[in-house]
Amino acid sequence: MAGGNAAIVAHAIVINPNLCIMYRGYKAVYIELFISKNVITERMINLLRGIRGATTVVKNESTEIIERVIELLTAIVQANEFEVEDIGAVIFSSTPDINATFPAIAARNIGWTEVPLFGTQEIDSPNGIPQCIRVLILLNTDLPQKEIKHIYLREAVVLRQDLKQESHVSES
């Protein structure tokens, strides 16, 4: 390895003689070192973060579920300002009293067609709130964890009152 790269290596995890990952703050840089060909390439890799959100519906009806999920996803995107291309995957859960449709359909309706989507049923806890749809967006981002804005709308605002809320949509 050339002497000029000594400072880089000091902050790097060396995977093998031709590959290391360097951290600059929250950003990771994937570095390939093709020493024999005298080529060094860098490619930025962002860290994976999770963005949480939740909302509720009044009725177990497909139209309302889709509308509420679109409202939630739109609010999350606005608050966190990311591109669809940076989404790794999205996981939805619905409480057992909501089965009229799949929340994933709402994500596709707003153009998240290439994003891996998954839906599951939330634990039927006696302490939970009814008719609730939760989301976890796995996002490649250079934002530190504390700057991620989690969004809870409608009756779901009660779920994480310890978090700062960006917005509150009242039940209508």
Ligand X SMILES: O=C(O)C(=O)C[C@]1(C(=O)O)C=C[C@@H](O)C=C1
b/e per residue, 71-102, with b = 16+ CB within 10 A? bbbebbbebbebeeebbeebbbbbbeebeebb
Q: Which of 20, 28, 75, 159 binds ligand X (CB under 6 A)?
A: 159
Of the two residues 85 and 162, which places its CB atom closer to ligand X in the complex?
A: 162
**Residue the block writes with tokens 């003689």:** 17
**Per rule CB under 6 A, is residue 134 in the interface with ligand X?**
yes
- Min dist CB 156 to ligand X, Å, is 7
**Per rule CB under 6 A, is residue 52 in the interface with ligand X?**
yes
**Per rule CB under 6 A, is residue 166 in the interface with ligand X?**
no
Of the two residues 102 and 152, which places its CB atom closer to ligand X in the complex?
A: 152
- Partners of residue 30 on adjacent β-strands: 21, 43
Could you please report the per-residue DSSP string of 9-31? HHTEEEEETTEEEEEETTEEEEE
Closest to 43 in 3D by CA, of 11, 21, 10:
21
**Per rule CB under 6 A, is residue 54 in the interface with ligand X?**
yes
**Per rule CB under 6 A, is residue 76 in the interface with ligand X?**
no
Interface residues toward ligand X, by CB under 6 A: 52, 54, 122, 134, 159-160
